[in-house]
Structure 1
Amino acid sequence: MERSTDLRAVRSRKLIEQALTDILSNQGTKELTVKNLSQKAGINRGTFYLHYKDIFDLIEQTEWMRGLLEIFEPIRLSDLMKHSDEKSPFPAIADAFRYLHRHASFFKAVFHPSAPVELRERLQYLVGTRLYESLKQEQPGSSWSVQPAGYIIAYLGSGQFGLIQHWFMTGRTLPSDEIALMLTRFIRNSPCLSHHFSGN
C-alpha cells in the first residue's frame, strides 16, 4: 500500500512539473496559478497542496532550480577572489551560465520582468544567500558579520539576478562563457568584497 502511495505521489509531481513547463513555455508566469496548473495537470488543488506550499515552492523544488543552486553551492568566495585568469570565468560561474543556457525555456520565463514580484524577490534571496553563507564562513570576523543579514543578501542577490535577467531579455546574444566572465570580474572587483579578501 505504501509503495502504491509513493508511486501516486511521484506521478502527481511529474504531472505538476509537466504542466508547469507547458504554462511557462506557452503562457508565461502571469498565467501560472494553482488553479490553472491543477487543471492543466488533471489534478485537484488539494493534490497540489499535498506536495507544495505554493507556486513559488514548486518552482524552487523543480529539478532545474535545484540543479542551478547545486552549481552555486560549492562556490568559495576566497577561491573566486584569487581567480587570476582574466580571460576565463570562474569555473562554477561558467557552469552556472551554461546550465542556464541549456534550460533557457524554463529560466527565461522565471527571470522575465513580468514574473510576480514575490518570485523575483525569492530568487534574489536564493542566489544572494549562497554568496552570503560563503562570505560568513570565510570571513567570520569581518564587518559583514555585524550588518543585518537581509540587506547583505539583497545586495548580493540583486546584482546577480539583474545580470541574468538582462542576459535573457537581450536574447542571450553574449555567449554563456562571456557573460560568466563578466560576472566573475564584477564580483572580484566589487569594493565591498575585495576589501575583505585583500589579505588573501
Structure 2
Amino acid sequence: MTKNTDLRVVRSRKLIEQALLDILVNQGIKNLNVKNVTEKAGVNRGTFYLHYKDIFDLIEQTELMRGLLDILVPIQLNELLLHPDDNSPFPPITEAFEYMQRHYYFFKAIFHQSAHVELKERLLYLVGTRMYEHLKQAHPQSDWSARPTDYIIAYLGSAQFGLIQHWFTTDKSLPPQEIALLLTRLIRTVPCLTNHLSVPGHDSI
C-alpha cells in the first residue's frame, strides 16, 4: 500500500466516523444507517464496506468506543472481588463512567432505548464475554465446558448494560463515583456465579 493510498484510507475513515458522530448528535441513533452515514460523509457505499462490515462494526471501531474498551478490557474480575474498601468504587469502573460522562453525547445515543436491537445484543455480548473470560481465569478449577456459556454471557452482559442504560436514561442522576460504587458493590455482593463457584463440590449453575 502506497503512502497516498494510506492517506486516502485514513481520510475516508475519518469522514465516515465524523459523519457517524454528527448523525448521533443531531439526529439520534434511530437515523443511523449506512445510507445516511455515506451521504453525510460524501463517500459511496463501496468505500464504507471497504473499511467496515456494517454500521455496528463502525460503532465498535470508533475512537470513542475503543477508548472505553481500553479501560474495560484490562479490568480483572478477581481484583475487583478482592477490592478491600466497601465504601469506595473499584477505580477502573470509576474511570469508565468518567470517560462515558466526558463523551456523553456519543454514549447516551449508543445506550439509548431506541437503539437497534442488534447493537444492544452486540454490546451485551461484548461486555458479557469479557466478564465471562475473567470468571474462567479466576476459577480455573471449574468445569466450564459443562456450563451453558451463552446464558452466562447473556446474564453478565445484561446486568452491566442495563445499569449503564438506566444511568443515561435518568440523565446521569448519580455522579460517576456513586454509580461506579453501586456497580462495584453489585458485582461483589449479588448472589452471582462467583459465589456459587467458590463453594467446593458445586459444579453446576
- TM-score > 0.5 by shorter chain: yes
- Give the corresponding residue for 1:149: 149
Question: Does structure 2 retain, via aligned residues, the 8 Å contact 1:78–1:197?
Answer: no
- Give the corresponding residue for 2:121: 121
1:40 aligns with 2:40: yes
- Which sits farther off after the overlay, 157-166 or 132-141? 132-141
1:191 aligns with 2:191: yes
1:58-73 equivalences in 2 (<5 Å) = 58-73=58-73
Identity of aligned residues (%): 67
Question: Does structure 2 retain, via aligned residues, the 8 Å contact 1:81–1:194?
Answer: no
- Which sits farther off after the overlay, 135-144 or 52-61? 135-144
State the secondary structure of the residue aligned to 2:88: coil
- Give the corresponding residue for 1:171: 171
Letter of the structure 2 residue corresponding to residue 194 of structure 1 = N
Length-normalised TM-score, structure 2: 0.93
Q: 2:10 & 2:173 partners in 1: Cα distance?
A: 38
- Give the corresponding residue for 1:12: 12
State the secondary structure of the residue aligned to 2:60: helix
Q: 1:77 & 1:198 partners in 2: Cα distance?
A: 17
State the secondary structure of the residue aligned to 1:86: coil
Distance 1:140 1:123, change over 3 A: same
Q: Deviations over 1:74-123 (max 9, x none)?
A: 11111111112111100111111111111110000000000000000000
Cα drift, residue 132 of structure 1 = 0.7
Cα drift, residue 195 of structure 1 = 3.4
Question: Does structure 2 retain, via aligned residues, the 8 Å contact 1:100–1:107?
Answer: yes
- Which sits farther off after the overlay, 38-47 or 131-140? 131-140
Q: 2:5 & 2:92 partners in 1: Cα distance?
A: 38
Alignment: residue pair count: 199
Length-normalised TM-score, structure 1: 0.95
Q: 1:196 & 1:80 partners in 2: Cα distance?
A: 16
Q: 2:46 & 2:177 partners in 1: Cα distance?
A: 43
Q: 1:198 & 1:84 partners in 2: Cα distance?
A: 21
Q: 1:145 & 1:103 partners in 2: Cα distance?
A: 39
Cα drift, residue 19 of structure 1 = 0.3
Q: Deviations over 1:35-72 (max 9, x none)?
A: 11000000001000000000000000011111111111
1:53-92 equivalences in 2 (<5 Å) = 53-92=53-92
Q: Which runs of 5+ in 2 are unaligned?
A: 201-205
Letter of the structure 1 residue corresponding to residue 51 of structure 2 = H
Aligned alpha-carbon RMSD (Å) = 1.4
